Structure 1
Amino acid sequence: MPEKAASRRSRWADLGPRLGVGAVIAIVGLFVVWIGGVIFALMMVGICSVMVWELVRMLDPKAPAVALAATAGAALAILLALPSGYGLPLLIAPIFIGISQLTQRRTVYSLFTLMILLAGFGMFFLRAQFGWPWLMWLALVVIASDVCGYFVGRFVGGPKMWPRVSPKKTWSGTIAGWIGAVIVALLFIWTTPASGQLVGISVALAMAAQLGDIAESAVKRRAGVKDSSSLLPGHGGLFDRFDGMLGASVFFLLIEPVVSFPSYALPN
């Protein structure tokens, strides 16, 4: 019995810091999404820069992580300031620079740096194209998926989905994340003119967010680290916190032209 009690305590040991830091991130992030404009663009640039810094440190500690992060951040900032057609090459340019600087794991660096910059661009595009409520929707789908998955996975447990890569991720938590996305979708259908197709889109985005989490876990396993950094108590680094948004944002960019996503812009 004492061993079971200790196991339960260790299972929830990170709950306090995780909830506190997560709440601050969510409140500040959603507030900046609502404000939009230059402040939102700067937040996107800052988050993406830090994620590239964390990525490089994991993949190749000898590579100039700060310089590569600054290059990626500058490229994204210029891209967001220019008409997209002129700035799109800047999504790719930091990858070529990084390839010349890393001595190992260049392919992983290339794929994830492209995803990070695409995610930053995708969230800015969603905010500009459809207004702040729909970027809120994307963020809430990811948050609901993460929160429901965390608590149900810890409470219910059960079979692991991919224990070698993500030992804490269970099928119960994964499915709970999909249910959380359905709840967010139903709330938006109730409060906006969105159609029922938003349910399927939201679940697909939750799945993409979970795949982003798994992909980042695979990188950490390969690099032999527990967290991408120690910037956020209870969460690790920004890469650990925003890996779900990474997957969801990139997936949204891919599906937006081909699904019946609301094409009207709500008041912003």
Structure 2
Amino acid sequence: MSTPSPNSGNWDDLTIRVMSSAAMILVGAVGVVLGGVWFQMMVVFVSAVMIWELWTMIRPEEPTKGMLLAALVASVMSGQLAYTSQWGFLLFLVVPVIGVTQLRSEFKTFFIFALGIQIAGWGLVHFRAEFGFIWILWLMLVVIVTDIFGYFAGKSLGGPKFWPKISPKKTWSGTVAGWVGAGIMGFVFTLFTDAGLIIILISMLLSFAGQMGDIAESALKRRMGVKDSSTLIPGHGGLFDRFDALLAAALFMLLVAVVFNVPGVAF
């Protein structure tokens, strides 16, 4: 979810991006609203596909192995979500370890990203189950608003690049605009929740975490020499390209939930 500058191209991609986004938002909204097993299945599917995309970026000549790992992820995550236990998190090591044994290079890259994807997916499901629709909606809206504000500010204002060596399209104007948008979204949620004004700061930090997720995935793609994680979504690339920020945001919220006691937003 990179933030383009005005010099990175025109607005020709906007229509197809909006159409693809609308379809994803519709499907995602249904899953979030229904919750329960429906949201679990959606998260498990998306996580499995992202593992496949991760594998094919590293080993594009062996896509079948990626499919097998994706199927294993779906099995492990489904079992872990249904039967959470004290030692259940060890199951999330299964796919990273197996993947490492099949790779001749980029062992650490696969291990870290594969583990992160699964834990983030688990976090999203439990965040929805523990705190309900309102707070998973907040988390997702912060990520979405960050992307929207960043996209249009980056296109309109341009300016210095945020991290040109890794994400040459992301600008400081778009990055800061994302924080502002997230802060506004946090303020909106203070009007009808009991989280207090601290949610504004957490929203902005969540926005930054999401942006770092985007940066991390951009670095991965640059390292692997690919433009997108896959071509599954017109105008967006793959699911990994679309949900990289959400994954990082989920990991950040897991950290917040463990370390801090924020009313309404803590495990």
Q: Normalising TM by the smaller chain, what interval?
A: over 0.9
Whole-angstrom CA distance in 2 between matches of 1:20 and 1:8:
23
1:249-264 equivalences in 2 (<5 Å): 249-263=250-264
Look up the SS of the partner of 2:169 in the other structure: strand
| Matching residue of 1:152 | 153
Counterpart residue type for residue 149 of structure 1: G
| Matching residue of 2:173 | 172
Look up the SS of the partner of 2:191 in the other structure: helix
- Are the aligned partners of 1:76 and 1:121 in contact in 2 as well (CA < 8 Å)? yes
| Matching residue of 1:52 | 51
Q: Which whole-Å deviations, capped at 9, do the CAs of 1:174-212 have from their partners, x for residues lacking one?
A: 000001111111111011122111011111110000000
Instruction: Output the TM-score relative to the length of structure 1.
Output: 0.93
| Matching residue of 2:31 | 32
Q: Which whole-Å deviations, capped at 9, do the CAs of 1:18-74 have from their partners, x for residues lacking one?
A: 111112212221221111011110000000000000000001224411011111121
Whole-angstrom CA distance in 1 between matches of 2:221 and 2:43:
23
Instruction: Output the TM-score relative to the length of structure 2.
Output: 0.93
Moved more, 26-35 or 175-184: 26-35
Of structures 1 and 2, the one with the larger relative CO (CA 8 A, separation 6+) is: 2
Q: Which whole-Å deviations, capped at 9, do the CAs of 1:155-192 have from their partners, x for residues lacking one?
A: 10000011121111000000000011111111110111
| Matching residue of 1:100 | 101
- Two-structure CA RMSD over aligned residues (Å): 1.6
Residues 102 and 183 (structure 1), Cα distance of their counterparts in 2 relative to 1, 3 Å cut? same
| Matching residue of 1:4 | none
Counterpart residue type for residue 34 of structure 1: V
Shift of 1:11: 2.2
| Matching residue of 2:3 | none
- Are the aligned partners of 2:49 and 2:70 in contact in 1 as well (CA < 8 Å)? yes
Look up the SS of the partner of 1:191 in the other structure: coil
| Matching residue of 1:3 | none
Whole-angstrom CA distance in 1 between matches of 2:8 and 2:107:
40
Gaps of 5+ in 2: 1-5
- Are the aligned partners of 1:60 and 1:104 in contact in 2 as well (CA < 8 Å)? no
1:219-258 equivalences in 2 (<5 Å): 219-258=220-259
Shift of 1:87: 2.2
Whole-angstrom CA distance in 1 between matches of 2:66 and 2:264:
39
2:125 is aligned with 1:121: no
1:1-16 equivalences in 2 (<5 Å): 10-16=9-15
- Are the aligned partners of 2:142 and 2:206 in contact in 1 as well (CA < 8 Å)? yes
- Are the aligned partners of 1:142 and 1:209 in contact in 2 as well (CA < 8 Å)? yes
Counterpart residue type for residue 243 of structure 1: D
| Matching residue of 1:208 | 209
- Are the aligned partners of 1:149 and 1:174 in contact in 2 as well (CA < 8 Å)? yes
| Matching residue of 1:192 | 193
Shift of 1:134: 0.4
Q: Which whole-Å deviations, capped at 9, do the CAs of 1:94-116 have from their partners, x for residues lacking one?
A: 11111111221110000101110
Shift of 1:262: 2.6
Look up the SS of the partner of 2:168 in the other structure: strand
